[in-house]
């Protein structure tokens, strides 16, 4: 388990990241698309951009979910424990990737 000091630092980092992700998601409308000029001549370009924005929105939502899961684990007292093997996640890994649910050995599985 990470030290209380490190956990506090990582919590602040995760909370800041959560705010940034929420702000980025707020830029998109309910369908995950930015507003486009309906009179734009190149509809293929608009469709391509909308597809890219949907993919970006999906990634932002996934990242937000990971951050929120890490914050919940901090509240539950299970932060820093690998979800696959149950071993402690190295502090250096948590510092590099505060929302990671896996130790380095289980990260690629």
CA dist 100 and 69 (Å) reads 10
Domain ranges of the chain: 4-76
pLDDT at 47 over 90: no
pLDDT at 66 over 80: yes
pLDDT at 71 over 60: yes
Least confident of 7-11, 15-19, 37-41: 37-41
For residue 88, the 8-state DSSP code is B
Q: Residue 80: how many CA atoms within 13 Å on its side-chain side?
A: 18
Which of the two residues, 14 and 53, has the higher pLDDT score? 14
- 2 and 100 Cβ atoms separated by less than 8 Å: no
DSSP state string for 46-79: HHHHHHHHHHHHHHHHHHHHHHHHHHHHHHHT-T
Amino acid 55: pLDDT? 87
């Amino acid at each position: 388990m990470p030290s209380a000091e490190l956990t506090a630092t990582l919590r602040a980092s995760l909370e800041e990241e959560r705010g940034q992700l929420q702000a980025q998601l707020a830029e998109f409308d309910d369908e995950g698309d930015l507003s486009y000029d309906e009179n734009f001549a190149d509809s293929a370009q608009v469709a391509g951009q909308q597809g890219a924005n949907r993919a970006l929105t999906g990634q932002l939502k996934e990242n937000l979910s990971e951050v929120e899961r890490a914050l919940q684990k901090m509240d539950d007292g299970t932060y820093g424990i690998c979800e696959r093997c149950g071993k402690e996640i190295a502090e250096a890994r948590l510092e590099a990737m505060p929302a990671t649910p896996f130790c380095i050995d289980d990260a690629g599985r």
